[in-house]
Amino acid sequence: MPHPDTEKRQFVRFSRLNRILHAAMIVSFLSLALTGMTLKFSYTGWAAFLSHLLGGFETAGYIHRAAAVVMFSTFIAHLWDLARLKKEKYGTWRVLLFGPNTMLPTRRDLSEFGATLKWFVGLGPRPRYGRWTYWEKFDYFAVFWGIAIIGFTGLTLWFPVFFTRFLPGWIINVATIIHSDEALLATGFIFTVHFFNTHLRPEKFPMDVTIFTGYMPLAELERDKPREYEALVAAGKLEENLIDPYPAIVVRTIRAFARTALTLGFSIVVLIIYAMLFAYR
Amino acid sequence: MESGKRAPGLATAAAALCLSLAPGVARAATDCLACHGEKEFKGAAGRSLFVDAARQKASVHGGLACNDCHTGIADYPHPKKIAKVQCASCHEDQARDVPKSAHSALGREACQSCHGEPHDVKRASAVTPEHCAQCHAAEVKDFFSSVHTAAAKNGDAQSPNCLSCHGPVHRILAADDPNSPVAKKNLPDTCASCHSNADFLSKHQIPFAHPVEAYKLSIHGRAVAAGNSAAASCSDCHGNHAIFPAKDQRSAINHWKVPGTCGHCHTEIAKTYLESIHGQAMRDGAEGAPVCTDCHGEHTILAPRESQSLVNPGRVSTVTCGRCHGDERLDARYNLPADRVPTFADSFHGLESRAGGQTVANCASCHGVHDIYPSSDLRSSINPANLARTCGKCHRGAGTKFAIGKVHLRQQTPSEPVAAMWIRRMYWVTIPFAVGFMFLHHLLDFLKKLRRKGPRKESGEELPRMNLHFRVAHWLTVVSFPVLVITGFALKFPESWWARPLLLWESRFTFRGWVHRGAGIILLVSLAYHLVHLLLVQRDRAFLRSMIPDLGDAHALSRMFLYNLGLAEERPTFGKFNYVEKIEYLAFLWGTAVMAATGFTLWFNNLALRYFPKWVSDAATALHYYEAILATLAIVIWHFYTVIFDPDVYPMDRAWLTGKASADHLRHTRPEYYAELRRVQQRGEQEREKEDAKGEKHR
């Protein structure tokens, strides 16, 4: 029998900094997507309306660049956090990068991916996932890829004169295409695949707030991450990772923020789909 | 002369032999001039035998001795009969060429007719077009007036002379000789030697890209290449010697001369054109009025059946007619109606044409081709008196019972038929209201369920909800409805990327249309199946009764809003069907009826145009379109929430597949229905027990 209080207590999955960074990422990403998409689909009615609402395309541009700075900062802060973790918790990069809770893809992820496909069509049991599932790792590295590609091309478009001092002029034209279509891919991915993975999976539907509160009901950990749960129990470390849930008012506020972000994301997807279906040029 | 004619080759050979065998026998000219230098020196026949020594000295042959040409003479007195002078003895190649050329007709005079008097032979470079003019006076006069000569006068080194086109000087062939560079078949290549050269074109600022190459791909060029001697080559349009730039009034391709030039061959068409509104306007000096080339192109003219032709049925309306009849400047200048092209593009004819259809009406189908007249003209195919015949070409019987109404229609303009206008207004209110209302309703429901604490305890038990007959009807709808949506909107958005795959074969086979009609039939079959099922199976007929909305539903709706807004404690409960399902079911019946009625009107449009006024078809088009938008949004927003995104049933209500619904869900939301199902279940069990008991007794 678990501790009587364990029923109420929750498992700490994300640190405070991680949650803050994710929230900053949400705010900046939504701002970037909204201001970017109004430019990309400027020929649609909704884009003209939204841009008008944001104060015109020039103002939207300022918002876009400001949000980009926030996102770069988030990214750098995360890298700094990794360095800190290495020093304070893991000791060496080797443990951080190749330990049991690694973010890097492993052979096990490949086999779990295969097993998951089998489970999808009813040919096997659901794999017993660990702390990070293969789709969570994919989502994580998709951000690295996106920041590198969209970030670099975005900088060339922001400072074209500087970059063309040592790069040929066609770089600007190519960067425009890459920035625009890679951004479409990123928004499409985040607002459909990432949203589905985290919020629309039947066991999480309609919303998973773990990334916002940082805490996860213990039963959920046991069900969704059985391997991590068992490892913690075996090491006797479960207890030290449990915490009392936030007061109701805090949870309500957090949920309101999450709901707003989700609604905005889904709305942008609907607008993009509309533009792609009936107005695409 | 006769001996020369008999065997020039032999004489040449003999002369060459003498010269080579007798070195140093050349006689000094002074010896000959002793006699031939006398002005009065005449032969027996009274012919002057005088040689002007000074001119001879100055000629290109000045360096030659007399007997270099007059080879039969070795000594004085020379024989009475001496061999004729043979130019070929030195000019062997030229002499071999000349007899094959058109100039061989000149016989022995051939050489001197161009090169001048025998003792005054001119340097080749001094032989100018003026010399040609001695015989070809008219041609050279034309040539001297042409742009080619004008270029030479301006010091253009590349300007052509006679030989540039007519070929090697001693091998000039008659123009009708198939080997002549100016023969019909060869002329394009001859012109191409300069006019295909990009540097030449840019240097001379000739603003045409690849004129000769374009011509060779054209219907004219291909016909000429295939040996059609009646087809037009370069000179048939541009003239041969009297070539002028198009801006020159004298040019055959000058804007105002084009119909006449084309009319040389296309006589009847030119006559028809000159009578038409375009021809009349052209004759009146309207610069915007089209001449032949404005519609057909110039060097690139293709046959109408060819897909790249400017007058191909699939392109003529937008690419060719639309170029002027959509141009703001021309519309304003000539007071043309500005909406002809967009109204056509919005019509079924235009949509199908944009999709690639080749058999659908284009501008020319109704307005004529070369015989276009204003509608007020009795000869016009769109004159009200002729409209029934014009429409009747495709739509048999159209306009026989009712006059054909307005054709170029556009919504939100006065041209919109009254019926279509009211249908549009009705749906512009209904669609946002119905869809918006349901969206709001479901959103509140979703948010309320989002706030619900903890997952509902699930027993996992399932109760029968949809028997096989209901499911079969639903399956048929599931298959046909999305197909109808995609193939239907593909007509309205023919350029969109998702419509293109459906329209790949449109030029040969109206694939999209037939899939749409096939799916429509399947949808109607599903409805028919459902109705026959209800008619035949008495037990299931209660379904209809439970679908009738009543006051209780209105009450439940308002209480549901209050509950979802947090203003009421209790969530309303329902019987077998809640108000959402009732609305959906009735909306489906209504929508299918509307879509079927309007769809058949459009499918059998010939009958519709024959037995009803045209506005009925226009109204059916509008109704079919707006109802389709409403139906699609109703499915995506109303139905998909109820069966997919409602957290109670997420990820999907599987009743349509398994026929069963979650018992927990029914117990919570429809306690009365749940109790009834339980009663039926128990009764069934009791009956089974009784039967089992009976069986026991019998045994």
Q: Are residues B185 and B63 in the same domain?
A: no
B27 touches chain A (CB under 8 A): no
A141 touches chain B (CB under 8 A): no
B77 touches chain A (CB under 8 A): no
Q: Which residue, of B196, B227, B253, is where some domain finishes? A: B253
Q: How far apart are CA A147 and CA A155, in angstroms?
A: 11
**Domain-wise residue ranges, chain A:** 133-203
Q: Which residue, of B67, B92, B127, is where some domain finishes? A: B127
Q: Please, which pLDDT band fits residue B457 given cuts at 50, 70 and 90? A: low
Would B282 be classed as within a structural domain?
Answer: no
User: Are residues B418 and B615 in contact, defined by beta-carbon separation less than 8 angstroms?
Assistant: yes
- Chain A residue with minimal CA distance to B646? A206
Please judge whether A278 and B496 are an interchain contact, meaning their C-beta atoms are less than 8 angstroms apart.
yes
E strand or H helix that includes residue B562: helix B551-564
Testing the interface with A: which of B443, B650, B652, B654 to mutate, by most A Cβ within 10 A? B650
Q: Are residues B104 and B132 in the same domain?
A: no
Exposed, middle or buried by CB within 10 Å (0-12, 13-18, 19+), for B134?
exposed
Q: Are residues B122 and B150 in the same domain?
A: no
| Residues of chain B numbered 565-604 and touching chain A (CB < 8 Å) | none
- Count of domains observed in chain B: 4
Q: Are residues B411 and B336 in the same domain?
A: yes
**ipTM for the whole complex:** 0.77
Per DSSP, the three-state class of A11 is: strand
A207 touches chain B (CB under 8 A): yes
Q: What is the pLDDT of residues B338-352, one digit of tens each?
A: 889 999 999 999 999
Residues from chain B that touch A277, judged by Cβ atoms under 8 A, are: 493, 496, 498
Q: Are residues B653 and B507 in the same domain?
A: yes
Cα dist from A254 to A78, A217, B266, B343, B362, whole Å: 22, 16, 81, 53, 61
Residues from chain A that touch B497, judged by Cβ atoms under 8 A, are: 280
Q: How far apart are CA B266 and CA B274, in angstroms?
A: 12
Please judge whether A278 and B450 are an interchain contact, meaning their C-beta atoms are less than 8 angstroms apart.
no
Q: Given CA atoms B501, B503, B508, B512 in this order, what sign does their dihedral have? A: positive
Q: Are residues B374 and B446 in the same domain?
A: no
Of B446, B493, B498, the CB nearest to A206: B446
User: Are residues A129 and A231 in contact, defined by beta-carbon separation less than 8 angstroms?
Assistant: no
| pLDDT value of residue A68 | 97
- Chain B residue with minimal CA distance to A200? B651
User: CB count, 10 Å around CB of A218?
Assistant: 19
A248 touches chain B (CB under 8 A): no
Sequence-distant (6+) residues with CB within 8 A of B7 are none
| pLDDT value of residue B13 | 45
User: Are residues A38 and A51 in contact, defined by beta-carbon separation less than 8 angstroms?
Assistant: yes
Please judge whether A202 and B449 are an interchain contact, meaning their C-beta atoms are less than 8 angstroms apart.
no
Residue indicated by tokens 């040996």: B227
| pLDDT value of residue B23 | 41
| pLDDT value of residue B10 | 45
A277 touches chain B (CB under 8 A): yes
B644 touches chain A (CB under 8 A): no
Amino acid at B695: G
Of A205, A255, A259, the CB nearest to B647: A205
Q: What is the pLDDT of residues B379-438, one digit of tens each?
A: 999 999 999 999 999 999 898 888 888 899 988 888 899 999 999 999 999 999 999 999
Would B274 be classed as within a structural domain?
Answer: no
Q: How far apart are CA A158 and CA A175, in angstroms?
A: 11
Of B496, B498, B650, the CB nearest to A205: B650
pTM of the entire structure?
A: 0.80
Would B406 be classed as within a structural domain?
Answer: yes
Q: Are residues B86 and B202 in the same domain?
A: no
B636 touches chain A (CB under 8 A): no
B650 touches chain A (CB under 8 A): yes
Assess whether pLDDT exceeds 70 at residue B7.
no
Please judge whether A259 and B496 are an interchain contact, meaning their C-beta atoms are less than 8 angstroms apart.
no
Which candidate, B519, B522, B487, places its Cα nearest to that of B506? B487
Would B278 be classed as within a structural domain?
Answer: no
Residues from chain A that touch B496, judged by Cβ atoms under 8 A, are: 277-278, 280
The pLDDT > 90 percentage for chain B reads 55
Which tokens sit at B373? Answer: 């007249």
| pLDDT value of residue B461 | 84
Residues from chain B that touch A255, judged by Cβ atoms under 8 A, are: 450
CA dihedral (B494, B495, B500, B503) in degrees, to 10, reads 40
Residues from chain A that touch B493, judged by Cβ atoms under 8 A, are: 277-278
- Chain A residue with minimal CA distance to B649? A202
Q: What are phi and psi of A242, to 5 degrees?
A: -100, 155
| Residues of chain B numbered 491-530 and touching chain A (CB < 8 Å) | 493, 496-498
Q: Please, which pLDDT band fits residue B220 given cuts at 50, 70 and 90? A: very high
Chain A nearest CA to B522, separation (Å):
26
User: Are residues B375 and B390 in contact, defined by beta-carbon separation less than 8 angstroms?
Assistant: no
Please judge whether A202 and B647 are an interchain contact, meaning their C-beta atoms are less than 8 angstroms apart.
no
Q: Please, which pLDDT band fits residue B698 given cuts at 50, 70 and 90? A: low
HEC assignment per residue over B130-195:
HHHHCCCHHHHHHHHHCHHHHHHHCCCCCCCCHHHHHCCHHHCCCCCCCCCCCCCCCHHHHHHHHH
Q: Please, which pLDDT band fits residue B15 given cuts at 50, 70 and 90? A: very low
A249 touches chain B (CB under 8 A): no
**Which range of residues forms the domain containing residue B96?**
2-127
Please judge whether A278 and B493 are an interchain contact, meaning their C-beta atoms are less than 8 angstroms apart.
yes
For residue B478, give the CATH number of its domain. 1.20.950.20
- Chain B residue with minimal CA distance to A217? B454
Q: Are residues B110 and B151 in the same domain?
A: no
User: Are residues B51 and B119 in contact, defined by beta-carbon separation less than 8 angstroms?
Assistant: yes
Please judge whether A206 and B493 are an interchain contact, meaning their C-beta atoms are less than 8 angstroms apart.
no
Which tokens sit at B391? Answer: 């429409």
- Chain A residue with minimal CA distance to B500? A277
| pLDDT value of residue B82 | 79
| pLDDT value of residue A46 | 93
Please judge whether B651 and A202 are an interchain contact, meaning their C-beta atoms are less than 8 angstroms apart.
yes
Which candidate, A236, A55, A65, A275, places its Cα nearest to that of A151? A65
B204 touches chain A (CB under 8 A): no
CA dihedral (B154, B160, B163, B167) in degrees, to 10, reads 170
DSSP A161-183: HHHTTTS-THHHHHHHHHHHHHH
Average pLDDT over residues B170-184: 91
Residues from chain A that touch B633, judged by Cβ atoms under 8 A, are: none
Q: Are residues B97 and B138 in the same domain?
A: no
List chain A pLDDT tens, one digit each, 281 residues.
344 444 578 899 999 999 999 999 999 999 999 999 999 999 999 999 999 999 999 999 999 999 999 999 999 999 999 999 989 888 888 888 888 888 999 999 999 999 999 999 999 999 999 999 999 999 999 999 999 999 999 999 999 999 999 999 999 999 999 999 999 999 999 999 999 988 888 888 878 889 999 999 888 899 889 999 999 999 988 888 888 888 889 988 998 999 899 999 999 999 999 999 888 77
Q: Are residues B595 and B647 in the same domain?
A: yes
Would B281 be classed as within a structural domain?
Answer: no
Sequence-distant (6+) residues with CB within 8 A of B471 are B656, B657, B659
Q: How many CB pairs under 8 A join A and B?
A: 21
Testing the interface with A: which of B440, B448, B450 to mutate, by most A Cβ within 10 A? B450
Q: What is the pLDDT of residues B226-273, one digit of tens each?
A: 999 899 999 999 999 999 999 999 999 999 999 999 999 999 999 999
Q: How far apart are CA B575 and CA B673, in angstroms?
A: 5
The pLDDT > 70 percentage for chain B reads 94
| pLDDT value of residue B697 | 62
Please judge whether B493 and A277 are an interchain contact, meaning their C-beta atoms are less than 8 angstroms apart.
yes
Q: Are residues B334 and B452 in the same domain?
A: no
Testing the interface with B: which of A120, A184, A205 to mutate, by most B Cβ within 10 A? A205
Q: Are residues B544 and B437 in the same domain?
A: yes
Q: What are phi and psi of B463, to 5 degrees?
A: -120, 150
Residues from chain A that touch B647, judged by Cβ atoms under 8 A, are: 205-206
Q: Please, which pLDDT band fits residue B448 given cuts at 50, 70 and 90? A: confident
Q: What is the pLDDT of residues B194-218, one digit of tens each?
A: 999 988 888 888 888 889 999 999 9
